[in-house]
Amino acid sequence: GNTCVMKHDRHVPGCAQAIADLVARVAEEHGAPRDILQNAPIGHGLVEVALTDPRIRAVSLTGSDRAGSAVAQIAAREIKPAVMELGGSDPAIVLADADLAHAADVITTMRIINAGQSCIAAKRVIVEESVYDEFVALYAERLAALKMGDPRSADTRVGPIARDDLRQNLHRQVTESVAQGARLHFGGEMPEGAGFFYPVTLLTDVEPGMTACSEETFGPVAVVMSAANADAAVAMANDSAYGLAASVWTGSAERGQEIAREIVAGQVAVNGIVKTDPRLPSGGVKRSGYGRELGPDGIREFVNRQQIWVGPARP
């Protein structure tokens, strides 16, 4: 019988209302209360008021680690359960025995989906050094072919960034990384004209500690790093404040599973795209958050598993 109050980002009020209208319509069709989900188009200033209201019994947030930190503090103070699904700097480990062309195809999709604005997008591609140059050539070819433009056009593959401040921050990350020694293959320049567009950008020779490696890059910026071997690749993958998701690319599924268990992340895909599935738990560790969404684990986050003990009846 859990109900939900939904607060969307203030920049997408239409999406929130569309979801609320859809849930209300389906609820009526199936005999559920119409107000089982309520849309709350409130600003940031009222969030704490809502979270401290006794009628709100738990909170689930999808957002940045900064937003998660603020909301988690309030939830903890109010002793309310919380699920934090936050940012990531997801690694994709490409080993020497992988199908490099297939890996480049799928990693391109993972990096560029929603113009790179996805928490589980592949943000750091870590490639075994013996196949590094070959993979970079394949990856660069695929990235360079992507068309940026009007998202309403069928041939557009990369649309705009959500806000100008996000675009400016992304550009800062690119320019700082280049100044730190990363190699810029293409992109990396702020385009002129209307819209918060940022070109597909490829950075290689990125090393631990560089801005594009240590921060979450939320946009169409591809980062490639070289690792001496599989062990070094795993160490580089785990050398992050985040731990949301990851992928491993190898010719051996068994080896991929062994390596996946060494990666500190909430979910790992072996030779496939990282995605959420309503049947399976999704969530991260470290600064990527805590708790799980989706599947039985997600449901149990917000129900009271009550214990009832009944003694023997007495006459």
pLDDT the model gives residue 11: 85
Q: Which two tokens stand for residue 261?
A: 């268990």
Q: Which two tokens stand for residue 288?
A: 């990527």
Q: What is the pLDDT of residues 213-235, one digit of tens each?
A: 999 999 999 999 999 999 999 99
What would you report as the CA-atom Rg of the chain, rounded to the nearest whole angstrom?
Answer: 22
pLDDT at 313 over 90: no
Cα 288 to Cα 265: distance, rounded to the nearest angstrom = 9
Q: Which two tokens stand for residue 154?
A: 């069928």
pLDDT the model gives residue 156: 94
Tell me which H or E stretch contains 262: none
Residue 60, SS3 per DSSP: strand
Cα 191 to Cα 112: distance, rounded to the nearest angstrom = 18
Residue 79, SS3 per DSSP: coil
What residues does 242 pair with on adjacent strands?
286
Q: What is the pLDDT of residues 133-155, one digit of tens each?
A: 999 999 999 999 999 999 999 99
Domains parsed from the chain with CATH numbers: 4-86+279-300 (3.40.605.10), 91-270 (3.40.309.10)
Q: What is the pLDDT of residues 230-286, one digit of tens each?
A: 999 999 999 999 999 999 999 999 999 999 999 999 999 999 999 999 999 999 999
As annotated, the active-site residues are: 85, 119
Of the pLDDT bands very low, low, confident and very high (cuts 50, 70, 90), residue 1 is low
Q: At what angle do helices 132-144 and 100-112 cross, to 10 degrees?
A: 50
Q: What is the pLDDT of residues 3-47, one digit of tens each?
A: 899 999 888 899 999 999 999 999 999 998 888 999 999 888 899
Closest residue by Cα to residue 141 from 92, 107, 176, 189:
107
Sign of CA dihedral 253, 258, 263, 265: positive
pLDDT the model gives residue 105: 97
pLDDT the model gives residue 302: 86
Kindly provide the b/e burial profile for residues 178-202, where b requires at least 16 CB atoms within 10 angstroms of the residue's own CB. Answer: beeebebbebbeeeeeeebbbbbbb
Q: What is the pLDDT of residues 157-201, one digit of tens each?
A: 999 999 999 999 999 999 999 999 999 999 999 998 899 999 999
